[in-house]
Every structure is written in structure tokens, then in C-alpha cells.
Amino acid sequence: MASKAGDDPDSLMSLCSVFCLKNLRRTMCFSGEQNRLQLRPDVFLPGEICDRLVNEYMDLLHTDSDFEPQDGFFQLFSEPRSTRLTRLQLREDLVRDRDLEAIGKQDLMELHLTCCNRLTARSLRTLCSFKHSLRSLSVFGCSSIFFRKSGAPLAYDEEDLEEQRHTVDLDFSFQGFNRLRLLNLGGLRAELDVETLLRPLPALTSLDLSSVHLPRPAFLTQWSERLASLVLYNLELTEELIHTVLQMSRLRHLDISRENQRTSKFKMTRKILSSIVQSLVDLVSLDISGHIMLDNCTVPAYCIHSLSHTHTHATLSHTHTHTHTCSHTRNTLSHTHTHTHTLTCSHTHVTGSKNEDQILNAIEAYTDQRPELAHRAINQLFDIARIQHCSQLLRALQLVIAALKTHKYDKSIQVTGSAALFYLTNTEYRSDQSIRLRRQVIQVVLNGMEHYQEVTVQRNCCLTLCNFSIPEELEFQYHRVNLLLLKILEPARQDESIQRIAVHLCNALVCQVDNDHKEAVGKMGFVKTMLNLIQKKLQDGMCDQVMEFSWSALWNITDETPDNCQMFLECNGMNLFLDCLKEFPDKQELHRNMLGLLGNVAEVKALRPQLLTKQFITVFSELLDSKADGIEVSYNACGVLSHIMFDGPEVWTMEEPRRTHVMDTMWAAIQSWDVTSRRNINYRSFEPILRLLPQSGAPVSQHWATWALYNLVSVYPGKYCPLLIKEGGVILLQKVLELESSHQETKDMARKVMEQCENFKEDPMDTSR
């Protein structure tokens, strides 16, 4: 059998790491003084495991809403004799100065800090403790790490983050970082003197200065014989800078791209491009996206020309005369004129918007540190999935999921990513996706709903959830998804389309789940939320899908769930029922849903006295004559009255309407129904019906129950004969035959039910459909 996209199971290492992190005190830790985490004295962890634990910890904090930060977590790795850390990737505001200080004794080889805005000059001291071992360092987007708070000592309260930090820490130096080869200072603020900062690092081979102010770029030539990779993304290019770059003779990767060509004063020419490729003979990768050529030839955004590794010398030409012409010279759908230059190489790795491969390359290349470009590429992927066909489904889903995880607070990424997921998970692609992959989609969609309260994101996420089998595929996140949907429905004036989708999802989630789930959702405020929606629609005089879905959801959540039935009554549900009946007398679907719900309420003996009022009984009696939705409204109204009658004449304290008159009306209604009617109802259990059978106090209730069983086992024998046999219904029907109080008509119908079940046991093939 062919495997589906994303079918590879998680590694045992990954599963164990996540389990340990979610159960620290039950596995590798114990509670020490003041309940602080401490590593067990008999635990010794090698570098591979420690790196995974810390990196997985960061990932869980960003993606798992149930996973809370563990106070003192980094302190677990403070002692190199029992733990070893070598390669860490830490992101965003979850990382504090004290976290880095806790691991200051470790011999880190790689430390990648991305947008850790809470880090301050205190962390520079910690970085110095790694200088003897550090080979790769990134402080990309860590806007405050080279600054101390003005007028305060270094050891200030790091929780006080409101006050602007604007004093450069002049004491820090990279002196002694002799092993450092890769350095990323992307986003470094203009107040810093980059030249002075970098001068002590003669051995650098890779340098990223994205968006960094370089007033005197000539200092870069100090690495002209060593630097293999130079990233100058979003720098304003000048002749001096280009001249400097041309002297970097060992460069293999050069990035001089821009986010937006409109803001650039510098005009790229083919002469400059030719000079770059001819001068930098080892170049294998060149990114020039976002620049306008002098002859108005636009090089599109996110367009990397990766020159072939098989050529030691690649040139840019004005002609098409070369033998080995790049196969991707027209690499985008943008308004370009790329025929004016040809890369003389036989293999390329190109990002762009011409085809799916280029688009996925762009998402992969730019997600981590250039979300603005990743957003554009995801938008292109969205169009492919929507209009054409995505042929690399697994890669596309994994890249979009990664982008949404990495940039959960970026509106552009969240909007385009959630829209792309909607199309990538629809029916066309569903058969190719594994359970594991679809669960990853669900989790990242819920993350978006949780962290980004924005109309478009919420709508896209809700629509994407509709592509899944509900409740089955969402059950592993059941509590969370219900909470999020109820939160969406809280505002009195929610966006109409979101409200409609969210109510539909709520209804689907409480249909066909066990009572424990329904009770839990009821405690979340589900019943009150639905009634609030109904109240609002009633005030607007509008019976739309939201109104009908809300009543349907209440019908489902009260099924065999007494606590939720009680909540319905306590939250003024009966008055809303009467008001809706009066306001919308011709809405058949609405009437069916409301009466189905009241049937559930009537099944709860302790709640039935609240239904036994002149007003309610009169309404139920009138609805016995309803022809709405076939027999459904009349059937459900009769069911409500049957349970009330079952409690006997002693509870009937009203003079009007008389009990005997209501029972006569019930008999007449039952006799008017077509017993072959196909039903718009689904029973998971016959228990509420079966309890009405062996009794003599209310023969009409007994007759309604017998009729219901006969109808269901006749029309749907394959579904309901086994259920009736399993729940002991045949034995109870035999008792009906033995009771003198049972009407002959009821006995005749009981025999037919028993015969139907007997015939089904002999020939279980269902030929009724």
C-alpha cells in the first residue's frame, strides 16, 4: 500500500523528548527548594539529548498552548558534568538574560538567537563565557542585546521592559572569539559601530549584516581572503559597497537583495552583475532580488540565481550564444525581461514565482528571517493550490506549517498561510495526507486562532477546520478547539460569516460524541453561548443558519446529558423557545431542532415539573398537529408529552388543559403518522424510549414508544434492529404484550417489532436501501 504524505512516524528520540519535557518532575527532575526544578543526581545527559531537549522545549512553547514555561528550566543545564549543550536555537521574547546566564558554563559551539528582544547587555557577558568554543553565532533581530537601560546598573530588573533601552554597551568586544566563523548581526541598530565591533574577528567565513547601517563598507576587505558567505539584505547599495564586494575573492554565496525595489536609490546594471560574476570566481549562489535594472528590467522579489556547483566560473552575458544556457532564465511570472541576460550554467536552484518548485524554494529560503518575502511566496502557493494543482503536497504543507509556527504574530503570514492550508487540505488533496500530517495542520490552525484575533485569520482557520472529519479528526484537541470556537462567538457583533462557520463547527463537534465530552463542553459555557446567539438573532428578527445551527447544537449537546438540559432551563431557554415559535411560525427546520431539544429535556425526570405549566403543555399540544418537516415536529412534541404523561396523573395539577384531553390528542396524532416515514433523526440509544414500555399509568406514552420503535426497525433494520436487541428491547416488548392495560393496537405493533428483530437475526442483510 502506498504511503501518504507525512506518514513517517516521529522518531523514538522525539517522542521521548516531548514526553520528558511534559513530565519533567516524573522523569528527569524533582522539586527542590521553593518547588524549583532540579535535575536528579543520577541523571547524566550527552550533548545530543541536551540540545534536543532545549530546542524541543522552545518549539513546544511556541506551538503547544497547553505547555507552560518551566521556571528554572535552563538552570537544569547549568552543570557541564551532568549535561552538555553544544547547538541551540532560541527564539523571541521567551528567552531572558537569566536563561543564558544559567548555561554560561557550557561549551556552546552554535548559538542562534532570533528576535529575542528581551535580551539586553547582560547577555553579552554570558556570550563572553562561550568565546573559547563558539563557532557560529546569530543575534538576528535581537534589538536590545547591545544596549543597557539608561541610568541603571546592568543588574536591573529585567521584568521592567517598558522603559526604552538606548545606551550602547561600549564595554563589550568580540576579542577572544577566536573560533567564531559564522556571525549573523542582522537588524543591528544604527547606533552601533559595526566596524569596531567586528574588527577582532579575523577568521570569519560567513557574515550576515541584513539591514545594518554601513557608513564605511571598505572595512569588509579585511576578510577578502576568507569570507565565503556575505549577506547584505536590505542594505542601500552604493558604488563603494559594490567595489568592496568585488574584492571578496573567496565568496561562494552573495546576497545583495532588497525587500522592495521601490525604496532603492541604487540602480542595478548588467555591467555590475557581470562584474560580480566575473570577479567572484568561486561564486555559486547570488541573490539580487528586489532590484531594478537601469534599463527597467526588474529582477523579481524572492528570485535567487544559484549558480551551478559544477562550474568554477560563471558569467552573465547579453546574448544567447552560449552552449550551456541556464534552463531557468525566465524564472517568474512577474513583469520581467530576463531574456536580456543569460546565466551560463547548466543547473540552477531558483526561487521565484514561475512554477511550484521556485515558489517552494522561496518559502524555504526566506521563512526564518525574511517573513515579508515568505509571505509573497506563500501567496503564490495559495494560487497554485486554488487554481492549478500542487504536485509537492508534503513539502508544501510542511513549509507552510513551519512558516505559521515561526511567525505566529505576523498578520501577513497568518492570513496567507491559513488560506493556503484551506486549499491544501481540501477534498482534492485529502487522500494523499496521513493522519499525522493532518494533525500537524490542525494544531497550527488552532495556534493561529489562539494567538491572532483577526477577522481574516479567524475565518480562514475556521474554514480550514471544516475540511476535517468532525468530531473524529479534531477529538485529539477537543477541549481546546471548543474553547477557541466559543471565544470566537462571545462578541455580540461578530463577523457574520465567521459566526456562521463557528456555530456549524460547534454543532458538528457535539454531535456523535460521548456524554463526558458533552458535559465538559457544557461547563465551558456552550449552552449559554448558543442561547446568547439565539437571543441576538431574535432581537434582529432574523432566522438564519446561525439561529438554526444554534438550536441544533443545543439539541445535540443536551442528548442524554441532564446537566446541560438543566443549564438550558436555567438560562431562560424555554422563554426563548416560545419567542422563536411566535416570531418564526413557518420555519420548519427551526421547529424540528427546538422540539428535538425539548425532547431531551423531557427525558430528565427531575426537570419535567418545569415543563408542566399551562402555557407549555398548550404549546406542545398545538404542535401535535404540525406538519412541519414531515412528522418530525409532531413526533417530538408527542415525545415530550409522553415523558410528562409517564409521571402519572398525580403530578398533573392543572385544570386546563385536562390530562385526558391531551392524551386523546396524542392518540390522534400518532394514528395520523405514516409508519414508513423516513426519519431526520439519529438514536445512539433507545434507553429513553424503552423506559416508557412496561407501564400502565400512561398507555399513550407506551404507544408512542412502540410506534417509534416499529418505525425505526422497519425503515432502518440494519441500524436499529441490532441496537434494540442489544439493549433488551425485545424482552420489554414481551412485557407490553403481558400487560392488561396495554391497548390492543399497541400490542399488535409490539408483535411486529419483535417479528422484525427476529427476521433480522435470521437474515441480517439490510435490503431496505
pLDDT digits 0-9 by tens, 285-312: 888 887 776 655 544 444 444 443 333 2
Least Cα distance to 184 among 288, 96, 113, 101 occurs for 113
Q: Please give the angle made by the CA atoms of 381, 382 and 388, to the nearest 5 degrees.
A: 80
Q: Are 332 and 303 in contact (CB under 8 A)?
A: yes
- pLDDT of amino acid 307: 45
- pLDDT of amino acid 75: 94
Q: Are 455 and 498 in contact (CB under 8 A)?
A: yes
The CA distance from 247 to 249, in Å, is 5
Domain architecture of the chain: domains with CATH = 35-148+171-295 (3.80.10.10), 612-768 (1.25.10)
What cell numbers appear for 531 in the block?
442561547
DSSP state of 165: P
- pLDDT of amino acid 319: 23
Least Cα distance to 456 among 505, 399, 414 occurs for 414
- pLDDT of amino acid 159: 47
pLDDT digits (tens, 9 = 90+) for 335-348: 222 322 333 333 45
Give the residue ranges of the chain where pLDDT is below 50.
1-2, 152-156, 158-165, 298-347, 766-769
Least Cα distance to 194 among 178, 218, 225 occurs for 218
- pLDDT of amino acid 335: 27
- List, as own/partner pairs, every contact residues 474-477 make where C-beta atoms lie below 8 angstroms and the sequence separation is at least 24, other chains included: 474/442, 474/509, 475/513, 476/439, 476/442, 477/442, 477/443, 477/446
* Strand 167-168 versus strand 182-184 pairing type: unpaired
